[in-house]
Structure 1
């Protein structure tokens, strides 16, 4: 991808291998690597399902979840559940059982409908804050059934929508975004807008979203941090 730093490169090697992590290279040790190896452009690489399973068990949950969501999206509607099942099998049979419970929770949460990694991370963050899982990219239709636009994240049963305004995607779209919000409010939605920089501190997001659910008569008994292991919560503290 243009503009992305290709480093560090991450590789997996058998236990006892001489190769070690160093600047620009992250080395992971694993078992049964040969069983999951395929050749791509002359290089021996792990199958996608094995890579995603390993990431879900060991890496930062929001990053691993974004990879998972994009992998499901790439499979398309027809292949999405087959890929989910294949990743689930790899998690269940992974030689190292650590992180398995969290990985399966993330696997069940992913929809494969996010249009970008940022949207996937937003979905993860919402659920990890203790809110119900929203629908991603929910279509809003006109009287003839034609799609007017897609809601980034929505709870249609409560008429609550959350719109994520990324940097590039919304430049010069202020009038369009305002018209979209006006249409949603006309339909009875409470609309919450979040900008990319607003995700550094989610205090406002928590407050406004909690207020929206209260306005709909629902007081949530949230358990923030439920998708993270204790180790990852300590890293973020």
Structure 2
């Protein structure tokens, strides 16, 4: 029984979809298509807005509708990806095949898991959303293992192994390793890394990042002077130098 005298066994936690858009029309159509299946949270995207929507632990999918995919769109994807591990479905208002092809490649490389255009019916978009959620749920039924050379990362268990031996990392150290690893070779700036891991405004605190990276290298690398995993990109940030094989 909870404090209100209600049996917790009768309480159902509704899975939620976070819908970010500059308008409500498509959101309302999606609500009709997915009525009774998911609780859809609407957050309006505003010009020059620095903050993102509140992230809920029961969110199983993030849908983003935009007029065009721009550098700001990529920044928004990176922010959401740093806070949520759920699939991201991007919906664009692209009107030509040329723009659509260019946007799709850019969006997927920036962290989106799916790309559609808004002229598709709400039923088609809802079906794609449901498929992404279903795929994510199947994946979560067994622990995912990321393999990078001699390194294995199990995100759900927050464990790291090298040649079968567990490497003990602090909370921040694991978050740094996981965030860099999931980029799969993409260069990550100091600013992006700090905001993604510390979840606060970047104040040019590169020394804190470097101190943590130094401690991580002592645990992961066989030759710290020539790191194999976390590599410096001088003046910019870091990249994870070994590509991933996921199981």
Q: Normalization by structure 1: what TM-score?
A: 0.32
Q: Normalization by structure 2: what TM-score?
A: 0.31
Bigger proportion of residues as helix: 1
